[in-house]
Amino acid sequence: MISYTVASTPTELRQILRLQKDNVPDGISSEEKEKEGFVTVVHTFELLQAMNAVCPHHIAKKNDTVIGYALCMHPKFGEKVAALQPMFTEIHKVVPPQTTWVVMGQICIDKAFRKKGVFRKLYKELLAAIQPEFSILITGVDASNIRSLNAHLAIGFEKLTTYEAGEKKWYIISITTKH
C-alpha cells in the first residue's frame, strides 16, 4: 500500500535527498536519462527543510520509505538555488504580478514505482494543498528531458515560455490549481 502525505521528519527529507541523488544525470546512463528522465538539482538538507517549513513537500511512501516526492518551492526561495535563478527571472516576465503562484521544485518517483499512478497522485495532492493560496503551479523542465515534459503535459500542464541557460533549453510550464 502506498500512502501520500507531506514530509514532516528529518528522515523523510533525507530520503528525498537520496532519491534525488539516485536520479541526477551524472549518476545514470544516457539511455536511462532518455527512457526514465532525470532531476537537475540536488538540494541541501537545510534548504529542503526551509522550503518544507513554508510550503510542505508532498511524498509517497511504501511502508516507511519515501518512494516519490513533489517539492514545493515558494517564490521567496528563487534566489537560493543558482541553477533556478534564470527560471524565476523568466517567470516574473510572463506571469502577471497580481497572480499568486508557487513552483513545484521537482518531482521524482523511485524507478520501481513508475507507471503506477504515483506521479499523478502526488500532483493531485499538491494541487489540492496549495489552494486557495496559489492559483498557478509552475515548474521548469530541461528540454532534453522528454519523458518529464510529456508526463507533465499529459496531466494538464501547459507551456508558458522557453528560455536558455547554461547551454540548455528549458520549458516553463504551468497548471491552474482550480480543477
Q: Which residue has the higher pLDDT, 5 or 33?
A: 5
* pLDDT tens, position by position, 118-176: 999 999 999 999 999 999 999 999 998 898 999 999 999 999 999 998 888 999 999 99
> What is the DSSP secondary-structure string of 108-162?
EE-GGGTTTTHHHHHHHHHHHHHTTT-SEEEEEEETT-HHHHHHHHHTT-EEEEE
Q: What's the pLDDT score for residue 27?
A: 76
Q: Which H helix or E strand runs over 64?
A: none
Q: What is the pLDDT of residue 67?
A: 98
Summarize pLDDT for 36-55 with one digit per residue, the tens.
877 888 899 999 999 999 99
pTM across the whole model = 0.92
pLDDT for the residue 166: 81
Q: Which three cell numbers stand for residue 99?
A: 497572480
Q: What local confidence, expressed as pLDDT, does residue 118 receive? A: 96
